[in-house]
Amino acid sequence: MEFSGKTFWITGAASGMGRSVAIEISKSKARIIISDRDAGGLEESAIKIRINGSEAIVVVLDMSDNASIMQAAAKMLSEVGKIDGLYQFAGISQRSLVAETPIENDRKIMEINFFGVVALTKAILPSMIANGGGQLAVTSSLVGKFGFPYRSAYSASKHALHGYFESLLAENTKNNIRVSVLIPGRIQTNISKFAIDKDGKEHGKMDAGQANGITAEKAAKQICRGLRKEKKEVLVGGKELLMLYIKRFLPWLYYKMAVNLKPV
């Protein structure tokens, strides 16, 4: 995948990795649709994209609103015709124990992180196939590969993405659809600040581990490198990615570590 001269739709683009990936791609003179529920943040992202000589199309979008997703997709397909890449970063995390988390919170997280991503994909995929192919990228997490305390629904929503998009890839490789699942570790973004607690309120602070992670700009370079190579899974982060290998090759150590984590 080369970015120059192509059209991309990037969700969660008002801040964090979504914004940074949009800016990184904008260096290649592309047309970029950016969406998020934060209108002000989108406008700031658009300014940076245009400074780099790329076109920015702003779409305010709530990924928990299925009707809005369908309307936005229909409008964009009508206006731009062909979308070469759909890269989804929008999502919400949590900071609460299973026993104290109401089912409404679990459903909210699944609605945004899984069903919203699936809905937008379903809206765009037929057009991609008709136009000869395209690239899909969805954002999982380290905890999309293993369970983690205080992240039950978040972890489940990310696990679900792996199964869904691996299935989608198996069905559509013949249609020239390429799929990359992004697996970030600790990245300096606002996801922990906006994570919801057991009462559905924002966590309000960046986790210490996350604060010591790599910047969103560095993450964007790793992501774009993986997207260019059309890697099936793109690992993003630093030394915390070792947890993937611990879980795979030393599962007993993973279980020992997981049960001894301190409360948030």
Bridge partners of 27? none
Instruction: Tell me the C-alpha distance between 149 and 95, whole Å.
Output: 9
Count of beta carbons in the 10 Å neighbourhood of residue 171: 10
Set 154, 245, 254, 255: catalytic member: 154
Angle 19-17-213 from CA coordinates, rounded to 5°:
140
What string of DSSP letters covers 140-170?
--GGGTS--TT-HHHHHHHHHHHHHHHHHHH
Catalytic site residue 245? no
Of 181, 182, 185, nearest to 238 by C-alpha is 185
Angle 163-222-249 from CA coordinates, rounded to 5°:
55
189-to-27, 64, 215, 244 alpha-carbon distances in Å: 22, 21, 8, 21
Active site residues: 154
